[in-house]
Structure 1
Amino acid sequence: MEHAFTLAARGPAHGPNPRVGCVLLASDGTGLGAGWHRGAGTPHAEVAALADARERGQDVRGATAVVTLEPCNHTGRTGPCSEALLASGVARVVVSVVDPNPQAAGGAVRLGAAGVEVLTGVLAEQGERVLGAWLPAVRRARPFVTVKIASSLDGRVAAPDGTSRWITSDVARQHAHDLRAEVDAIVVGTGTALVDDPSLTARTASGELHHHQPLRVVVGYRQVPAGARLHGPGGELVVVRTHDPAVVLDALHAREVRHVLVEGGPTVAAAFLRAGLVDEVHAYVAPVLLGAGRAAIGDLGVATLADAVRLVPREVVPLGPDVLVVATPQRAATAAAGTARITTTSTDEER
């Protein structure tokens, strides 16, 4: 199973489909074939492993299939993996995580009904980590939301005169670009689109576009100018005419978006936090003091310390002179959640 996890991690972090790995074993533990899912529209891990075994001239009848996610039981872009495994003659299927997607789940039941021995929940905690943002997105029927902040040590994203490039180092900015290349969509407000004219692309260290470019999502009612850089090379431009974060996520969920990166500045970040729709925060902090200027997060409706949105740190990563803190909100902000709206203002594309 651990080898299957390693294979799964080779698949893309972005896209509507999960990262899945599969290993086929003979009764004596000899490897017969292995595979992983390479992205939407490509063979699933089980089918890839069966194809690998065929290429090696291996007979998989009576074998064990070890797979990181329950084999699917429906026809989508590809056929059901449960039927492929049954047709191959495997005798046993070992699963780490049961599929929470009601459209795809049921493979374990289908295999068991046909006489295949099925074991689920093997190293499930590790399996869930491999699935990453995809798993909570499917469970909640909405995209996983990461809010990105890049600020000075005293929590400022711009100096009093509005200058902000660059607060963080090139090392931190490249890390942020690599994060963009792993998500399905980047969200900003119309204020950012109009004032900062961002491109919202994911770029390599050499300045070239990453192979994968996320959707560029602009939230609000004002028009994006025809000559804006958002119309240039990069991901598809999507305009969602609302100030309600929940409506934004509904629209992106309909597009099978699993992971959203909110980069829209203090006001947009605050709106998602107030709505209780933030799953993690990536805070890039530079050892710089400004003393004044725009705050990293807008008004959260917090009147007293007891109402603060508290975060649980999960990881601290040194990035050159800067530090990245990855944290999870301990609980959603309270009554303001139901009425949170985005009022767009200017912010920089990245800092």
Structure 2
Amino acid sequence: MERALDLAEGAAGGGAPRPAVGAVVVARDGETIVGEGATQPNPGAHAEAVALDMAHDAANGGTIYCTLEPHQFRSTTPPCSQAIIDAGIGRVVCPTVDPNPQVAGRGLEHLKSAGIEVINDVDDASQQRADELIEGFAKHVKTGLPFVTVKWAMSLDGKIATRGGDSKWITGSAARAHAHSLRYRSDAVMTGIGTVLADNPRLTARDPKSGTRVYGRPYIRVVVDSNAKMPDDAALLEEDGEVIQAVSNGEAANRRCEVIMAPSQTEDSVDLAAVVRHLGERGCINVLVEAGERLTGSLFDCGLVDKVVVYMSTDKIIGGSDALSPVGGSGPSVIHDVTRLKNVRMEQFGEDIAIIGYVG
């Protein structure tokens, strides 16, 4: 299962609006891997089909490990459950039921009705990885909206930059590598015009395994730019992939990228809910936000955040009343109304700590 999860994670960000899935076929001896596959870029083959094709006759009597329930209906590809049956697979190990209402357990029932043993129980770590792989798909298939993750890096005293705007680097290389993996697995990365003007980021991604730069990922970069201030020589405009400029006034919009007119009822601001809906309509299932306090705070104020990833340095205190904080916006007036996280966990990256939680 661990290998199947690795394959799925490598496909994340490349198959939207379909989920990233990994599959491994083990021969009848219970040890030899004879086939493996991952979701191919849309509308390519599903992971199970790729793995079974590689295994060929060696799949007969073997076991297939799938990170997500095989579907039982014909979509852009033939039913994977039927392919598993036709291959003579004897056992299926699958930790996660497909949240798509068209599947929702029917794929596993199809396998069981053919006499195939189905095992759902896996260790807790594998279950967590499998669930996280489809969290964007699960939201999108039910609501049409993408799953929005906000991330930032901060010092021990909660600052994202010095009073002079310097932030390179608050966290170490291990934490930054993990942040790149989030970009790699996201369909779109959103930032604000303030970040573009201050830092001129490229918002590129690196392969989570090799650390090498991956061109064309993420596929879409979104700049929330209410008054259309993005310069023609912004670094992110030179990268592969699409750039969307979300504005409230399109008169001065940048002609080098796609422009979304999304004025809100508040003067000189963008309707962020409309932007998120647009990304969902474009097939984006995972959106990563890397922005300053204004955009981050506004997303929280609008209730658009699903997940938070905070990298915290354990050895740096910035200080200063004018130093930048991660979350602005209006915020609540009483503690009762604060944003609360659930399923919070901490992970260590070098000397830094990542706090990961879901908006409850």
Asked if these proteins are the same fold (TM beyond 0.5), I'd say yes
Instruction: Report the counterpart of residue 97 of structure 2 in structure 1.
Output: 98
- The partner residue of 1:163 within 158, 162, 165 is 165
CA distance in 2, matches of 1:112, 1:197: 54
- The answer as to whether partners of 2:26 and 2:35 remain within 8 angstroms in 1 is yes
Instruction: Report the counterpart of residue 217 of structure 2 in structure 1.
Output: 213
Q: Secondary structure of 1:97's partner? A: coil
CA distance in 1, matches of 2:91, 2:238: 51
Aligned-residue offset at 1:314: 0.6
CA distance in 2, matches of 1:89, 1:173: 45
- The answer as to whether partners of 1:4 and 1:67 remain within 8 angstroms in 2 is no
CA pair 237-89 structure 1, distance change in 2 beyond 3 A:
same
Asked whether 1:292 is paired with 2:305, we answer no
**Amino acid across the alignment from 2:108:** A
Q: CA RMSD of the aligned region, Å?
A: 3.3
Aligned-residue offset at 1:126: 5.0
- TM-score using structure 2 length: 0.75
Instruction: Report the counterpart of residue 258 of structure 2 in structure 1.
Output: none
Q: Secondary structure of 1:138's partner? A: helix
Aligned residue pairs: how many? 322
Instruction: Report the counterpart of residue 334 of structure 2 in structure 1.
Output: 304
5+ residue gaps, structure 1: 332-351
Q: Secondary structure of 2:179's partner? A: helix
CA distance in 2, matches of 1:213, 1:3: 24
Asked whether 1:179 is paired with 2:182, we answer yes
**Amino acid across the alignment from 1:121:** N
**Amino acid across the alignment from 1:301:** G
Q: Secondary structure of 1:150's partner? A: strand
- TM-score using structure 1 length: 0.77
Q: Secondary structure of 1:295's partner? A: coil
Aligned-residue offset at 1:296: 1.8
Q: Secondary structure of 1:231's partner? A: helix
- The answer as to whether partners of 2:204 and 2:215 remain within 8 angstroms in 1 is no
CA distance in 2, matches of 1:3, 1:191: 41
Instruction: Report the counterpart of residue 304 of structure 2 in structure 1.
Output: 277
Q: Secondary structure of 2:101's partner? A: coil
Aligned-residue offset at 1:12: 2.4
**Amino acid across the alignment from 1:231:** L
- The answer as to whether partners of 2:153 and 2:160 remain within 8 angstroms in 1 is yes
Aligned-residue offset at 1:139: 2.4
Deviations 1:235-265 (A, max 9, x none): 3212344333332322222233222211121
**Amino acid across the alignment from 2:146:** P
- The partner residue of 2:201 within 194, 198, 202 is 198
CA pair 311-132 structure 1, distance change in 2 beyond 3 A:
same
Instruction: Report the counterpart of residue 33 of structure 1 in structure 2.
Output: 34
Aligned-residue offset at 1:49: 2.8
Deviations 1:26-68 (A, max 9, x none): 3x646573313153245333223322322xx5361x5554433
- The partner residue of 1:264 within 291, 309, 329 is 291
Instruction: Report the counterpart of residue 353 of structure 2 in structure 1.
Output: 324
CA distance in 1, matches of 2:311, 2:123: 31
Aligned-residue offset at 1:305: 2.9
